[in-house]
């Protein structure tokens, strides 16, 4: 007989002991002598019974020790993204010495209803692509902590994306910039890399990309430089595949931009590769800056000037805020990283 067909009552009946004795053997060994506990556990193992139903017990006490980590896109994309991977690592490091377990949940799902009863709450990294899911997380009764976006009803952990973009923008523009292009990330609706043109911006209330765009625009205004929507590019995900398309189009324009403001390091590194293929000198012919502070930015040649936002620390902070049931939000520091692509 398998454990699925055995209940604690049936096991207790077969061993002629109380259900409390069986429960103690698995959950409170100090309540039994070592010899009696060993005898009960051995008999249970022979029957194929491996303890009271943990899921049912968790539901009864209202705690499962499972935290859902909601990622904004499909899991296959997110676990390969270096920035998301850093954040996940930070969460995992903070939880490793606790009883909590982590459930990765794709933000492309329509609903959290399938898991809401089996988790203690949600850590949400980036605004989910699905609006219905975003609405549910804004109104759910379980504890929620957000990172890189703010839903107003839950504590969040962020950096000041507006200020960070403004400061790295000023570095990129230097004293002599004339023509600038912005390689943005998820600025409009669209599955393909394209210029923004007249398309309406989306998710402006939640998106860190729009805060970065606002910061770039402030830096440009202070330098008396105008950028048209034809030179602001929407890239649907931070991947080399889409960044390459945008970079090739921008670099083929006449006159060519002398500064590229990129909303991720992956985009910036891809743009740098494309510029070098054309025989351009970086930074003499074109200055390029990124955003994130991934490890590859410092290993690449030329090294990348970027914003480091300490994603591992951000993940750990989000996990700690969840465990502590923090009710206030946190703004973490960022750092400008000097690089050869746009030296100060």
Q: Are residues 103 and 174 in the same domain?
A: no
Q: Are residues 271 and 202 in the same domain?
A: yes
Q: Are residues 292 and 204 in the same domain?
A: yes
What confidence tier does 176 reach under pLDDT thresholds 50, 70, 90? confident
Q: Is residue 120 part of a domain?
A: yes
Q: Are residues 268 and 165 in the same domain?
A: yes
Q: Are residues 21 and 108 in the same domain?
A: no
Q: Is residue 320 part of a domain?
A: no
Q: Is residue 330 part of a domain?
A: no
Q: Is residue 8 part of a domain?
A: yes
Count of domains observed in the chain: 3
Q: Which domain holds residue 128?
A: 63-158
Q: Is residue 339 part of a domain?
A: no
Q: Are residues 25 and 81 in the same domain?
A: no
What confidence tier does 316 reach under pLDDT thresholds 50, 70, 90? very high
Q: Are residues 218 and 154 in the same domain?
A: no
Q: Are residues 222 and 302 in the same domain?
A: yes
CATH number for the domain spanning 293: value is 3.40.50.2300
Strand partners for 336:
307
HSE (side-chain half, CA atoms, 13 Å) at 241: 6
Q: Are residues 198 and 301 in the same domain?
A: yes
| 272-307 per-position pLDDT tens digit | 999 999 999 999 999 999 999 999 998 989 999 999
| 93-116 per-position pLDDT tens digit | 999 999 899 999 988 888 888 888
| 233-247 per-position pLDDT tens digit | 999 999 999 999 999
- Secondary structure letter of residue 71 according to DSSP: E
CA–CA dist 302, 3 (Å, integer): 60
Is residue 71 within 8 A of residue 122, CB to CB? The reply is: no
Q: Is residue 186 part of a domain?
A: yes
Q: Are residues 82 and 219 in the same domain?
A: no
Q: Cα 49 from chain centroid?
A: 40
């Amino acid at each position: 007989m398998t454990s699925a067909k055995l209940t604690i009552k049936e096991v207790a009946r077969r061993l002629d002991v109380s259900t409390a004795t069986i429960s103690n053997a698995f959950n409170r060994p100090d309540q039994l002598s070592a010899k009696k506990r060993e005898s009960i556990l051995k008999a249970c193992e022979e029957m194929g019974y491996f303890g009271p139903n943990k899921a049912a017990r968790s539901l009864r006490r209202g705690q499962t020790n499972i935290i859902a980590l909601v990622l904004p896109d499909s899991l296959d994309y997110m676990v390969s993204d270096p920035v998301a991977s850093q954040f996940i690592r930070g969460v995992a490091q903070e939880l490793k010495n606790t009883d909590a377990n982590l459930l990765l949940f794709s933000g492309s799902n329509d609903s959290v209803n399938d898991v809401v009863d089996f988790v203690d709450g949600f850590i949400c990294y980036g605004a989910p692509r699905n609006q219905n899911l975003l609405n549910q997380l804004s109104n759910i009764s379980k504890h929620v902590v957000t990172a890189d976006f703010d839903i107003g009803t839950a504590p969040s952990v962020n950096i000041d994306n507006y200020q960070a973009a403004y400061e790295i923008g000023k570095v990129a523009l230097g004293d002599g910039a004339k023509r600038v292009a912005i390689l943005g990330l998820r600025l409009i609706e669209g599955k393909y890399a394209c210029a923004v043109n007249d398309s309406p911006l989306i998710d402006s209330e939640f998106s860190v990309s729009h805060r970065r765009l606002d910061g770039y625009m402030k830096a440009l205004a202070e330098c008396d430089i105008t950028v048209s929507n034809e030179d602001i590019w929407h890239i649907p995900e931070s991947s080399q595949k889409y960044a390459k398309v945008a970079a090739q189009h921008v670099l083929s324009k006449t006159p060519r931009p002398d500064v590229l403001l990129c909303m991720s390091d992956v985009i910036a590194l891809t743009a740098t590769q494309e510029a070098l293929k054309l025989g351009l000198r970086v930074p003499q012919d074109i200055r390029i800056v990124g955003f994130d502070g991934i490890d590859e930015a410092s290993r690449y040649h030329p090294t990348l000037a970027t914003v480091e936002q300490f994603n591992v620390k951000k993940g750990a902070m989000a996990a700690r805020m969840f465990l502590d049931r923090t009710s206030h939000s946190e703004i973490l520091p960022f750092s400008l990283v000097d690089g050869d692509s746009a030296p100060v």
